[in-house]
Amino acid sequence: MYIVHSMVEVPEGKADEVIGLYRNRSRLVDQAPGFVGFQLWQNEVKPGELTVHMQWENKESYVAWVTSDDFKRIHELEKKYPDQELASIKPVVRRFEVVAE
């Protein structure tokens, strides 16, 4: 199993807006070969800290997704988001190989 975390610090007062975007996400990734699951986590102490948690069967499936046309299309739309403060947020991405369960 391969895990990817993308953590963002959302400007004060905008966490609910970002959460709404993820609740209404395109779900294109759900159809990607090797995709296992998606969750959005909100830090209970720092509500503006949000983490996208994605599970993949393996690293190769994840790499295939991030090089796909669907991935590129989704992320191009994010750059055109009307709230440029949100559109300019850069996530901290961490990748993990599950080595024991």
Render pLDDT for 11-27 as a digit per residue (tens, 0 to 9).
Answer: 889 999 999 989 988 89
Predicted local confidence at residue 90, as pLDDT: 85
Tell me how far CA of residue 62 lies from CA of 3, 9, 36, 47, in angstroms: 9, 23, 10, 28
Predicted local confidence at residue 42, as pLDDT: 97
Predicted local confidence at residue 59, as pLDDT: 98
pTM as predicted: 0.87
Give the domain 2-97 fold: Alpha-Beta Plaits (3.30.70)
Predicted local confidence at residue 75, as pLDDT: 76
Residue 48 near residue 15, CB atoms below 8 Å: yes
pLDDT in tens, 47-90: 999 999 999 999 999 999 999 999 998 877 666 677 777 777 88
Is residue 44 over pLDDT 90? yes
- Each domain of the chain, given as residue ranges in start order, spans 2-97
**Residue 20 phi/psi, 5° resolution?**
-60, -40
Query: Coil, strand or helix: which one is 54?
Result: strand
